[in-house]
Amino acid sequence: MARICYVELPVADTAAAKRFYESAFGWALTDFGPSYACTMMGDVDLGLQGDAADATRAPLAVIAVIGLDAWPGKVEAAGGRIVRPIFAFPGGRRFHFVDPSGNELAVLENDA
């Protein structure tokens, strides 16, 4: 089963963006280094990516799956193009792809 679990926003200033979302919506955001913070509510969470080298140009929808290693082949077979191969980060692994319409998305498997 696959479901959208996360939306990652590119931000110019992680601390300022974090203050905005905490103040406007009352969300608690956890820091994962100086340029990344996210909610950890467990439904659909929000990430703030302040590292320009890792940030996408538009909001990034993230799809949660089980058995991540099988999914790049499924995405390619359906007409998608892998733009960032599987990589690890604190909490799991993911890869990025572009769909046939040019939208960049990510597929994630959380650590057990």
So where are the chain's domains?
Answer: 3-110
Superfamily the domain 3-110 falls into: 2,3-Dihydroxybiphenyl 1,2-Dioxygenase, domain 1 (3.10.180.10)
- Residue 1's pLDDT band, with cuts at 50, 70 and 90, is confident
Backbone torsion region of residue 73, taken as left when φ is above 0, otherwise alpha when ψ lies between -120 and 50, otherwise beta: alpha
3-state secondary structure of 34: coil
Is residue 42 over pLDDT 90?
A: no
pTM metric for this prediction: 0.86
Q: What is the per-residue pLDDT for 79?
A: 93
